[in-house]
């Protein structure tokens, strides 16, 4: 099925929906866009190791204190994001 035919079919189906259902369709399309943005291709274990080595090489000359600060800032960004999304797990950070 080509894209033009698919769009025509979807348009036809949407035209038959009650108007009160259209916000649900829009919400679902937004969900699909967000999901697409968050899905990344899965890497193999070898690719993960290679990327970790590459990242480690880039950070080799960065002082540990600076890396710790970056990590803490990133952890806080992630924490704030999961709170906003409602996926946060309550409890204290146990440290490293």
DSSP label at 86? T
pLDDT digits (tens, 9 = 90+) for 47-80: 989 999 998 888 888 888 988 998 899 989 988 8
pLDDT digits (tens, 9 = 90+) for 2-48: 889 999 999 999 899 888 888 898 999 888 888 876 776 778 899 98
């Amino acid at each position: 099925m080509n894209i033009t035919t698919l769009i025509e079919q979807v348009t036809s189906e949407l035209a038959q929906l009650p108007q009160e259902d259209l916000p649900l369709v829009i919400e679902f399309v937004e969900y699909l866009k967000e999901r697409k943005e968050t899905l990344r291709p899965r890497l193999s274990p070898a690719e993960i190791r290679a990327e970790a080595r590459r990242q480690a090489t880039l950070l080799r000359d960065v002082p540990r204190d600076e890396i710790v600060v970056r990590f803490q800032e990133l952890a806080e960004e992630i924490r704030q994001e999961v709170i906003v999304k409602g996926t946060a797990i309550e409890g204290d950070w146990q440290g490293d």
